[in-house]
Amino acid sequence: MAARRVQTTGPDETESLGGELASTLVDGDLVLVRGELGAGKTTLVRGAARALGVEDPVTSPTFSIGHRYRAGDLTVSHLDLYRLAGLEAEDPDLLADYLGAGRIAFVEWPPDGEPELSGARLLVTLAHAGGERRSIEIVDLAATGAPR
């Protein structure tokens, strides 16, 4: 899939789409998740985490930067970088426990042009489409050859 556009009619469908995306992910994958406040970013990640085997409650990591969840032999990482202007002023090891082998990572509010996020596999952008509807674009960065 190079680029795909989907419209969901409510949180259940957005969560289900996350589960569908999870079925395409493999160890080490990084998914960038963009969208305005309340667009359903955490809902999508929750669906993916559930499909990957996470049983714990999946909540927004806005105030803690990141959460890690066990899913069998994998760790599902969920980061929210909303409060960070960029990664250059942060501890170089900030993302070390969240990205890489043995993990599938989802990063909400990824800053542009950060080398630490350059290996992203998917870019998912969510937008309000009226009421509970969401317009969602999924870009497979590996398939498009687009800069990550």
The domains of the chain are located at 3-86+97-144
CA dist 40 to 54, 58, 109, Å? Answer: 19, 13, 12
Homologous superfamily (CATH) for 3-86+97-144: P-loop containing nucleotide triphosphate hydrolases (3.40.50.300)
- Write phi, then psi, for 66 (nearest 5 degrees): -155, 155
H-state helical runs in the chain: 11-22, 41-52, 141-144
Digit-coded pLDDT (tens) for 124-136: 999 999 999 999 9
Q: How is residue 50 annotated by DSSP?
A: H
pLDDT along the chain (148 residues), means of 10: 88 97 96 94 97 95 88 93 64 76 93 79 96 96 62
- Global pTM reads 0.90
